[in-house]
Amino acid sequence: MAIHSISSVNPNFLSPSLSKKQISPSDATTNFGQLLKKSIEEVNQTQIQSDRMTEKLVRGENVDLHQVMIASQKASITLQTTMEVRNKVVEAYQEIMRMPM
């Protein structure tokens, strides 16, 4: 019984998307801006969904209290996470501005 050695693995062969891509600074800014906008829109949609479910519950419509609480907590957590990310970005900006030139 012959034992064959393990050949080296080329990461680009496994996933071509892992290969280095050349991104211009304007593309990076656009991508970051789009990512930020999309994230804020998702947080907003989560808040809207939570509000709608809460309103349905208050009106006495057939809504599961458990689902309303989950939606409310999800909205709360996403908003808190967004605020923390914002705080970290502001802190990083302030740190950069304090650097001597």
85 Cβ contact list (under 8 Å, min separation 6)? none
pLDDT at 63 over 70: yes
Instruction: For residue 15, name the pLDDT band (cuts at 50, 70, 90).
Output: low
pTM over 0.75: no
pLDDT at 4 over 60: yes
> Residue 85: its pLDDT value, please?
92
Mean pLDDT, to the nearest integer, of 26-38?
Answer: 80
Q: d(Cα 74, Cα 54) in Å, to the nearest integer?
A: 13
- 11 vs 55, more confident: 55
Mean pLDDT, to the nearest integer, of 69-91?
Answer: 95
For the chain, which residues make up each domain, given as ranges?
25-98
The number of helix segments (H) and strand segments (E) in the chain equals 3, 0
pLDDT at 93 over 90: yes
pLDDT at 13 over 60: no
Mean pLDDT, to the nearest integer, of 14-32?
Answer: 66
Q: d(Cα 45, Cα 90) in Å, to the nearest integer?
A: 24
78 Cβ contact list (under 8 Å, min separation 6)? 42, 43, 46, 47
